[in-house]
């Protein structure tokens, strides 16, 4: 078996194991109250952190705003969370997966190229228009690209977990302790190329 195929198969096994093991636990109460809460009001169930983002200015780089149980404690135990995605022209949400929840994306503005890869390495590609939705099954690698050179795009994603997790492949592979020689052999290239990729990622804005 070629080194590249071996590496891809190993990656698929890791992602599949995350898919099988990860799920939100059921709760035996209506909702989870923080330990320090003495009086729960409607404010506890309200989140206002997206007010300035929806309809606001476009950021210079792709920006992901996560609304999970850590940002919105009322979601704890409810198996749901959200993310707001902002795509300036020619920006990408790099290949990643969510080990603990499926994702359904609603395109709010602009056009967006969507890509999904299953464990048979089949690529599904679609261009979404405003108002379209797309499902990313739990644990599968996917990414989005705004190919428009002038117009931004925005989207809202819902997840089937209060803490869906995010495994970003470029950073997971290249900004970790995986030895350069292993990466070079896996991608059938040389160590200098691997180091150049690493330097480029470290010099970027980092994972979103």
Q: Is 61 annotated as a binding residue?
A: no
Among the listed residues 140, 87, 89, 149, the one whose alpha carbon sits nearest the alpha carbon of residue 115: 140
Stretch (H or E) spanning 103: strand 103-109
Q: How far apart are CA 134 and CA 119, in angstroms?
A: 18
Give whole-number Cα distances, 121 to 8, 31, 57, 116, in Å.
Answer: 9, 40, 37, 9
Q: Is 96 annotated as a binding residue?
A: yes
b or e along 95-106 (b: 16 or more beta carbons within 10 Å of the residue's beta carbon)?
bbbbbbbbbebe
Contact 98, 165 (CB under 8 A): yes
Contact 187, 194 (CB under 8 A): yes
Q: Is 5 annotated as a binding residue?
A: no
**Those residues with Cβ within 8 angstroms of residue 201's Cβ, 6 or more apart along the chain or in another chain:** 170, 171, 174, 175
Q: Which residues are annotated as a binding site?
A: 93, 96, 98, 103, 142
Q: Which residues are annotated as a binding site for Mn(2+)?
A: 96, 98, 103, 142
Q: Which residues are annotated as a binding site for oxalate?
A: 93, 98, 103
């Amino acid at each position: 078996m070629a080194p590249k195929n071996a590496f891809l198969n190993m990656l698929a096994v890791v992602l599949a194991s995350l898919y099988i093991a990860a799920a939100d636990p059921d709760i035996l109460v209506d909702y989870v109250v923080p330990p320090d809460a003495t009086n729960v009001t409607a404010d506890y169930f309200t989140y206002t952190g997206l007010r300035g983002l929806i309809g606001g200015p476009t950021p210079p780089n792709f920006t992901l705003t996560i609304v999970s149980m850590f940002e919105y404690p009322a979601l704890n135990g409810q198996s749901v969370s959200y993310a707001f995605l902002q795509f300036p022209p020619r920006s990408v949400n790099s290949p990643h997966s969510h080990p603990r929840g499926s994702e359904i994306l609603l395109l709010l503005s602009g056009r967006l190229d969507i890509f999904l890869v299953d464990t048979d390495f089949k690529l599904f590609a679609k261009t979404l228009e405003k108002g379209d939705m797309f499902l990313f099954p739990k644990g599968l690698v996917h990414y989005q690209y705004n190919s428009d050179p002038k117009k931004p795009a925005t989207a809202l994603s819902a997840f089937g977990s209060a803490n869906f997790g995010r495994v970003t492949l470029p950073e997971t592979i290249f900004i970790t302790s995986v030895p350069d020689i292993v990466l070079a052999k896996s991608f059938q290239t040389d160590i200098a190329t691997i180091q150049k990729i690493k330097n480029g990622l470290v010099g970027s804005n980092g994972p979103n």
